[in-house]
Copies of this chain bind each other. A is one copy, B any other.
Amino acid sequence: MPLHRFYYAKGIFSAQDKQEISERITKIYTSGGLPAFYVIVVFNEVPSDSIMIGGKPATNFVRVVSQHLARTMDTYERKQTVLNALEAAFGPYVKDRGLDWEIHIEEHSRDTWRLNGLNPPLPNTDAEKLWAKENRPSPFEQSKI
């Protein structure tokens, strides 16, 4: 469900960095009870002439676009907590290396979301707990959301 797309000039992250960033982001969600396989991270590397900030090559910059589907952040405080968690997850690879960054999170409807053809279970249901435990989607009694 959360889909995190990182945009940056090629060379900023190593394979090891990408592995660790995605592991650290995954932990945010699994610690909240979500299945690990919900967490997708895509690293969209582009040539250094293909990402620009303020009309200049963004050689020192990472832009993150995060999309949420499984949970809604109901309050301003909750939103800040999630932003804090995400920034802490990639901080060692971005802030601590002196890179600039920008992030925004979008929330989209779960009515038009599917995994392996299944409408994912509602939050904190037995079915969601099973998905989390088994770390894979499986059919369950669907009720209309």
Contacts and interface: CB of A to CB of B under 8 A. Distances in A.
B45 A40 contact: no
Contacts of A27: 55
A104 B113 contact: yes
B39 A45 contact: no
Interface of A: 1, 3, 7, 15, 18-19, 22-23, 25-27, 35-47, 49-58, 61, 63, 65, 67, 69, 73, 76, 79-80, 82-83, 87, 95, 100-109, 111-117, 119, 135, 144-145
B54 A36 contact: yes
B42 A63 contact: yes
A103 B114 contact: yes
